[in-house]
Amino acid sequence: MRELSLHILDIVENSIEAGATRVEILVNEDSRANRLTIVVEDNGRGMDAETLKRVGDPFFTTRKTRHVGLGIPLFKAAAQRCAGDLIVSSEPGKGTKVVAEFQRDHIDRAPLGDIKSTLLGLILSCEQCDIRYEQRLDGRAFVLDTRELRDILGQVPLSHPQVRDWLEEYIEEGLAELRQAPSATQEQNSSDF
């Protein structure tokens, strides 16, 4: 079972390869609806209708180094195993959107995995690309947007060791806080139903 963070990495790498300068990632967990949804949206070169039709086919790839492209088919298979699906929509010259949905408590649903390392790797590997990451759990959210960080940092690059350390801590703490149980008042409210 492959961690979902590795699938996210694959999908965002497609975006970067497609020349995206902005990638928006949303991981939304809704325990009441028992769904986990992952959305990756980019402003890369997009795909024409013919490419889009073939994108779920493992033997389709535009890469030149080998003859199979597995990023999307593997992620789609993982979603379909968990009473979900993966849908790709795209417009040439505008961008691409990948939406994967899972039954959250499905026995085959892989854990989210190491989101922190995935994000850090992506952010540091693509200095000319902005990444917005949002993770939601029952309405509460953690957000990281490198565009906002760049505005604050000015000339200091995201790869600066001190910035990197800060980023690591920020992601770690933000995600830990999100995983913590909601406050007593929120619990009180939700038990009224």
Which residues contact ligand ATP by CB under 6 A?
Answer: 10, 14-15, 18, 42, 44-47, 51, 55, 60-63, 69-73, 96
Q: How far is the CB of 61 from ligand ATP (least distance, A)?
A: 3
Q: Quick one: what does residue 44 bind among ligand ATP, Mg ion, none, with the CB cut-off 5 to 8 Å set by partner type?
A: ligand ATP
Site mask for Mg ion (CB under 5 A), range 55-74, x = bound: ----------------x---
- DSSP, collapsed to helix, strand or coil, labels residue 56 as coil
Question: Does the protein bind Mg ion through residue 37 (CB under 5 A)?
Answer: no
Residue in the block written with tokens 């790839």? 61
The tokens for 75 are: 């992620």
For 53, the enclosing helix (H) or strand (E) is: helix 49-54
The least distance separating Mg ion from the CB of residue 15, rounded to whole angstroms, comes to 9
According to DSSP, residue 51 is labeled: H
Q: Please give the size of the binding site for Mg ion, defined by CB under 5 A.
A: 2
Task: Select the binding partner of residue 84 from ligand ATP, Mg ion, none (C-beta < 5 to 8 A, by kind).
Answer: none
Distance CA 30, CA 34 (A): 6
44 part of the interface to Mg ion, by CB under 5 A:
no
CB of 4 or CB of 47, closer to ligand ATP:
47
- CA torsion angle 156 160 165 167 (round to 10): 50
96 part of the interface to Mg ion, by CB under 5 A: no
Nearest to 124 by CA among 99, 159, 90: 159
Looking at beta carbons only, is 5 or 14 nearer to Mg ion? Answer: 14
Going by their DSSP bridges, the two strands 140-145 and 130-137 should be labelled as antiparallel
Return the number of the residue (12 or 137) whose C-beta is nearest Mg ion.
Answer: 12
Nearer to Mg ion, 75 or 142 (CB): 75
Check residue 182 and report its DSSP letter: P
Does 14 participate in binding Mg ion (rule CB under 5 A)? Answer: yes
CB nearer to ligand ATP: give 44 or 84.
44
**Inter-residue contact 183 to 140 (CB < 8 Å):** no
d(CA 105, CA 94): 35
Contact residues: Mg ion, CB under 5 A:
14, 71
